Amino acid sequence: MRFIVDLPLAGLAKWLRFCGFDATVQRFPGRLPAAAPGVYLLTRQQTLDRTERADLLVLTAPDSERQLEEVLRRLQITRGLLQFLSRCGQCNEILVSLPRDQVLGLVPEHVFHTQEQFHQCPKCRQIFWPGSHLPGIISKVLAKLA
């Protein structure tokens, strides 16, 4: 499952990536991106609701947190389908795992001593570890998921 997100929903795209989904941001012009298998278009432009596209989700939730909840609910995405720490929230790149001995000096010392698994974004080089970048917003949404 992949998402193409309307530019004003860039905040939502970030949370979707944190959940492991491929989410690219694009400004929707008068013409929508072509339909493709497994790809959903997300927007809040209510006028687009009149286009009869099964792959288009016109969201009603006002903020990213509730939009994420709305997407997961409407597409019946369950907890098991989410893959945390697999994608960079900023770049949408797939994270690669980083041997522990390579992160010394790159992460706070207490993190180095308490964590076993590290992942890095090949593009922006940011380093992630369990719990590091799982924002509270996700935990709140997760709590409401099946």
Give me the residues that bind Zn ion (CB under 5 A), please. 88, 90-91, 121, 123-124
Q: Are 104 and 112 contacting, i.e. CB atoms less than 8 angstroms apart?
A: yes
Closer by beta carbon to Zn ion, 66 or else 133: 133
Residue closer to Zn ion by CB (options 28, 128) is 128
CB 14 → Zn ion: shortest distance, Å? 11
Name which of 18 and 28 has its Cβ closer to Zn ion.
Answer: 18
Compute the least distance from the CB of residue 112 to Zn ion, in Å: 20
Helical (H) or strand (E) element with 25 = strand 22-26
Comparing CB distances to Zn ion, the nearer of 79 and 130 is 130
Which tokens hold the place of 55?
A: 């792959």
Q: Which tokens belong to 115?
A: 């964590």
CA-nearest of 20, 13, 18 to 138 is 18
> What value, to the nearest 5°, has the Cα angle with vertex 83 and ends 78 and 88?
135
- Shortest Å, Cβ 120 to Zn ion: 9
| CA-to-CA separations, 65 to 90, 109, 116, 119, 125, in angstroms, rounded | 17, 32, 30, 25, 26
CB of 29: closest distance to Zn ion in angstroms? 27
